[in-house]
């Protein structure tokens, strides 16, 4: 019994209390009440392609709308070939044809929320990765009508995690609040992490443990993730997400380079 009480107390402190606290903060904010009221325009994070001539591979995340924003981010991928006249954005959504290309501005707000830059690779390194990104988008297995499930997946974050798993050398991992990222598209309960720097045990995105050099330690309970990042020191809490150093070493410099002058 003492062990059971200890486990229940740990679950309360690590999972329940952060979600309750984040819910209280979330509902205290002034947010759009409907899809049509939300601002979906560019947040001005990316310069004109005429200015940014290098190849680009960016990953963005923004809180989803309504009460679901307590728990989750929506993520997407933006790419551009060297000297290309435009950026290309890839998302997966829960209505119509799931996998979308360029339905919104590459750096557009999501339900009015300004996106966060999760990772940025540019120049020759990005150029070498783009063919694999396009191939992974094309072979995503849950791309047909009806093959979207907000919880536990496959959803928008499952799609982005699938693409990132095709470029493990990029070393990109999604935020802990990217609910659905742990829904494995290979159907395996045990396998390598998306960056191939560790191992992952997952049960349909509902329960699991991830342990890797880049992913850190993550415990998934019904899609809520808690854990630690030892490479870029931080704690991971349900609702709040990552608290500590930025998860991408170049994120500050990349954001500064991407901001309009």
**Residue 178, beta-bridge partner list:** none
| pLDDT computed for residue 254 by the predictor | 40
| pLDDT computed for residue 252 by the predictor | 42
| pLDDT computed for residue 32 by the predictor | 83
| pLDDT computed for residue 261 by the predictor | 26
Radius of gyration, alpha carbons of the chain: 18
| 10-residue stretch averages of pLDDT, the chain, 261 residues long | 83 94 93 86 95 96 93 97 97 92 97 96 97 98 94 96 97 96 95 96 95 97 96 96 88 41 26
Instruction: Decide the pairing of beta strands 207-212 and 198-203.
Output: antiparallel
For the record, the structure tokens of 24 come out as 């209280």
| pLDDT computed for residue 250 by the predictor | 65
| pLDDT computed for residue 36 by the predictor | 84
Secondary structure (H, E, C), the chain: CHHHHHHHHHHHHHHHHHHHHHHHHHHCCCCCCCCCCCCCCECCCCCCCCCCCCCEEEEEEEECCHHHHHCCEEEEEEEECCCCCCCEEEEECCCCCCEEECCCCCCECECCECCEEEEEEECHHHHHHHHHHHHHHHCCCCCCCCCCCCCCCCCHHHHHHHHHHCCHHHCCCCCCCCCCCCCCCCCCCEEECCCCCEEEEEECCCEEEEEECCCEEEEEECCEEEEEECCCCEEEECCCEEEECCCCCCHHHHHHHHCCC
pTM value > 0.85: yes
| pLDDT computed for residue 3 by the predictor | 84
| pLDDT computed for residue 20 by the predictor | 96
């Amino acid at each position: 019994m003492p062990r059971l009480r200890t486990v229940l107390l740990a679950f309360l402190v690590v999972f329940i209390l952060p979600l309750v606290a984040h819910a209280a903060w979330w509902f205290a904010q002034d947010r759009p009440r409907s899809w049509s009221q939300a601002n979906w325009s560019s947040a001005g994070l990316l310069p004109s392609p005429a200015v940014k001539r290098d190849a680009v591979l960016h990953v963005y995340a923004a809180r989803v709308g309504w009460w679901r924003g307590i728990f989750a981010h929506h993520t997407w991928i933006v790419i551009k070939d060297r000297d290309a006249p435009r950026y290309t954005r890839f998302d997966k959504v829960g209505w119509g044809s799931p996998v979308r290309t360029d339905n919104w501005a590459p750096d557009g707000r999501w339900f009015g929320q300004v996106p966060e830059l999760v990772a940025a690779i540019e120049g020759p390194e990005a150029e070498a990765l783009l063919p694999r990104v396009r191939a992974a988008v094309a072979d995503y297995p849950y791309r047909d009508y009806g093959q979207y499930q907000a919880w536990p997946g496959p959803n928008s974050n499952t799609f982005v995690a699938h693409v990132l798993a095709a470029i493990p050398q990029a070393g990109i991992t999604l935020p802990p609040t990217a609910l659905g990222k742990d829904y494995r598209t290979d159907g395996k309960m045990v396998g390598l992490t998306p960056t191939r720097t560790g191992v992952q045990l997952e049960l349909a995105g509902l329960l699991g443990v991830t342990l890797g050099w880049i992913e850190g330690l993550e415990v998934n309970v019904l899609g809520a993730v808690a854990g630690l990042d030892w490479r870029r020191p931080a704690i991971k809490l349900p609702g709040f997400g990552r608290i500590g150093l930025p998860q991408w070493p170049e994120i500050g410099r990349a954001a500064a380079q991407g901001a309009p002058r």
